[in-house]
Amino acid sequence: MKLLSAKKLLIVAAAIFAVACSSSGDNPTPDTNISDGVPVPSPTAVVAPAPSGSFGGTLKVVAAAEIPHRDVHQEVQETLTALGPGLAYSRLLRLRSGQGANQPNLLLECDLCESWELDKNLAYIFQLRPGVKWQNIAPVNGRDLTAQDVVFSLDRLKTPGWPNAPLLASIGDAVALEDLALQVELALEDADALLSLADGHVKIVAPEAVAVTGDLKDGPVIGTGPWVWQETGPSEGMEFTRNSNYFEGGLPFLDQLNVTVMRSGPLADSPDSIELDKVAAFRAGLVDVLSVGPNEWEMVQRGGSDYQSVVSRRSGAGVVLAMNSQKPNLQAAAVRQAVFQAIDPWDYLDTVWSGQGFASVGVPVREPGWLLERLEMRQNFFADPGKARQLLVNAGQTLPVDLEVTVRIERTGGENLALEERLMADLTAVGFNPELRRMNPVQFDDLVMGPVRDFQLAVGAVPPTSSTNSYLFGLLHSQGQWNLAGHDDSLLDSMIETQAAEFNDVARRDQLVEIQRRVLDQAYLFSPVTAASRWVFSSDLKGFEPNTALSEYNFWSRTWLDR
């Protein structure tokens, strides 16, 4: 098997990056053996024990949109994938559930597999769990899952032109070795490759189900997952019942999971309309679980209802602040550093975003220990207005320094306007003369992400990524399709390429920490608000530990109601 080098990974980095749901995961580095001088990890078996809880009850949750159809391989929509028909399916791997304090979390565990290992040819060998059965629905009729089902599904996902095909850009041929064993080759030396197999879009589907009509757009919805899809009428939402033959004994705890799609009411042209409807439904007990933004969170708090809340953090999404080093007034690193020192992102998070989110370089990482610590970031790179002004003076700048600030306008969320106001005030205070330029999303993407890069400082939604390599090669490598800083930093390029093919977790973590330091030291970009989801839920819901990275959804099967 011929693998591409880390540099050649650049050829497909843009394709991987373009899909909003890819992967990167971490497990304890397994013991290794030596074969022909090549380290070969021993089999990794991470099979999560089932939690304890009470059985019964119906949980009512909210989805943000109607599903376009039921074919989980031909759509990237989150509702379809992680809160619609996708709930019926399993994957080869998945992400571990975990409390918000232990996130971001891209830690891998087995879903359909019971172990995996990387051989000396850099191919993964998976052993499947025995006794996994398809849901007892025609035409699959409850037969046993086989390795050939997995191969069929991976090959189907790779269909040219399908929206999820780029997820498997690092995955080569998959071959069934036995009924319960398969080999998955790597097309690239990509240390993130396993995460693509854990992505919520990489469902395992039955060939017989696809054969009914040639696709799955009208069903049937038949998986091996914990939830069985129930047919409902138009405008009746979605319903799932407990799969009593699910391979993880005792799960799910709930008897039923009902999903309501919240539609806009008569005030549809009001940005707050949907937010008000969702919060009102929660207060009235019509829904048990709600994911809320800062505005909705304030509404919930004002209501005085009996509720719980948790913040789930994930990397690779949120707001990015980037500076174009090709522009004359930003070519000097000292000027870019002065911008960073003028900003206190943690103050923004507390006062603008209600503590929802975290500051980082933005790169998706496997667990919190792979991020630069807040203390180091704050002391060395941010929140020192006096140092910001001195940097400008030492760089020979005549104050005030003109600076054009391009901001992406979002339709909803007063926090975006508040962030804009704080940023402009802080830049003015240290000696910049910022000129605000607001752009709608299409204009912003053309000017900031397009080939011309006609901006100086840009603030807006980060192009969604979910793997370390897709972010680094897409946004921070000098040859990346979205090199937002416009830099030609050969040292950073080399650091990115080295970590891309590093399969030792400890070594890769150290390399990523140094990459983050380099990016901040050169003041290329950072994420003042890296994404987080605040969930509010009824006080009798227990064991609710959402991890939504990579469109994960397994946590729904592990929660229960204490009623």
Q: What is the pLDDT of residues 165-185, one digit of tens each?
A: 999 999 999 999 999 999 999
| Per-residue pLDDT, 31 | 41
| Per-residue pLDDT, 159 | 97
Cβ atoms of 317 and 531 closer than 8 Å: yes
| Per-residue pLDDT, 101 | 60
Of the given ranges (22-26, 431-435, 530-534), which has the lowest mean pLDDT? 22-26
* Residue 35 pLDDT greater than 50, yes or no: no
Cα–Cα distance, 88 to 71 (Å, whole number): 12
| Per-residue pLDDT, 247 | 96
* Residue 15 pLDDT greater than 60, yes or no: no
Mean pLDDT over residues 349-362, rounded? 86
Q: Which amino acid is at 157?
A: L
When pLDDT is cut at 50, 70 and 90, the band that residue 36 belongs to is very low
* Residue 250 pLDDT greater than 80, yes or no: yes
The residue among 265 and 71 whose pLDDT is bigger is 71
Can you tell me whether residue 99 is helix, strand or coil? Answer: coil
Cα–Cα distance, 8 to 493 (Å, whole number): 13
Residues 449-484 pLDDT 10s: 888 889 999 999 877 677 899 899 999 999 988 899
Outline where DSSP puts E strands in 80-221: 93-95, 108-110, 113-118, 123-128, 171-178, 181-186
* Residue 148 pLDDT greater than 80, yes or no: yes
Q: Which amino acid is at 19?
A: V
Mean pLDDT over residues 144-148, rounded? 98
Cβ atoms of 329 and 402 closer than 8 Å: yes
When pLDDT is cut at 50, 70 and 90, the band that residue 104 belongs to is confident
Of the given ranges (174-178, 393-397, 443-447), which has the lowest mean pLDDT? 443-447
Specify the pTM: 0.86
* Residue 314 pLDDT greater than 70, yes or no: yes
Q: Which domains does the chain have, with CATH numbers?
A: 9-260+539-561 (3.40.190.10), 314-532 (3.10.105.10)
* Residue 27 pLDDT greater than 70, yes or no: no
* Residue 25 pLDDT greater than 80, yes or no: no
| Per-residue pLDDT, 323 | 97
Mean pLDDT over residues 530-546, rounded? 90
Mean pLDDT over residues 302-319, rounded? 82
Cβ atoms of 247 and 132 closer than 8 Å: yes
| Per-residue pLDDT, 72 | 97
Mean pLDDT over residues 35-43, rounded? 47
| Per-residue pLDDT, 39 | 43
| Per-residue pLDDT, 400 | 96
The residue among 340 and 26 whose pLDDT is bigger is 340
When pLDDT is cut at 50, 70 and 90, the band that residue 417 belongs to is confident
* Residue 385 pLDDT greater than 80, yes or no: yes
Query: Highest mean pLDDT range out of 132-141, 264-273, 359-368?
Result: 132-141
Phi/psi-derived region of residue 56, left when phi > 0, alpha when psi is between -120 and 50, beta in every other case: left
Q: Which long-range contacts (CB under 8 A, 24 or more apart) does 506-513 make?
A: 506/29, 508/191, 509/366, 509/369, 509/370, 512/363, 512/365, 512/370, 512/468, 513/370, 513/372
| Per-residue pLDDT, 416 | 74
* Residue 502 pLDDT greater than 80, yes or no: yes
Residues 189-206 pLDDT 10s: 899 999 999 999 999 999
Mean pLDDT over residues 96-125, rounded? 87
Q: Which amino acid is at 226?
A: P
Of the given ranges (29-43, 70-84, 549-563), which has the lowest mean pLDDT? 29-43
When pLDDT is cut at 50, 70 and 90, the band that residue 412 belongs to is low
Pairing state between β 401-408 and 457-461? parallel
| Per-residue pLDDT, 413 | 57
Cα 360 to chain center, whole Å? 15
Q: Which long-range contacts (CB under 8 A, 24 or more apart) does 383-386 make?
A: 383/341, 383/343, 383/344, 383/345, 383/346, 383/347, 384/341, 385/341, 385/342, 385/426, 385/429, 385/430
| Per-residue pLDDT, 40 | 46
* Residue 216 pLDDT greater than 80, yes or no: yes
Q: Which of 347, 374, 323, 320 is nearest to 529 (CA)?
A: 320
Mean pLDDT over residues 113-119, rounded? 94
When pLDDT is cut at 50, 70 and 90, the band that residue 273 belongs to is low
Mean pLDDT over residues 27-41, rounded? 42
Integer Rg of the chain from CA: 24
What angle separates helix 374-381 from helix 333-342, to the nearest 10 degrees? 120
| Per-residue pLDDT, 541 | 96
**Where do the H-state alpha helices sit in 158-257?**
193-198, 207-211
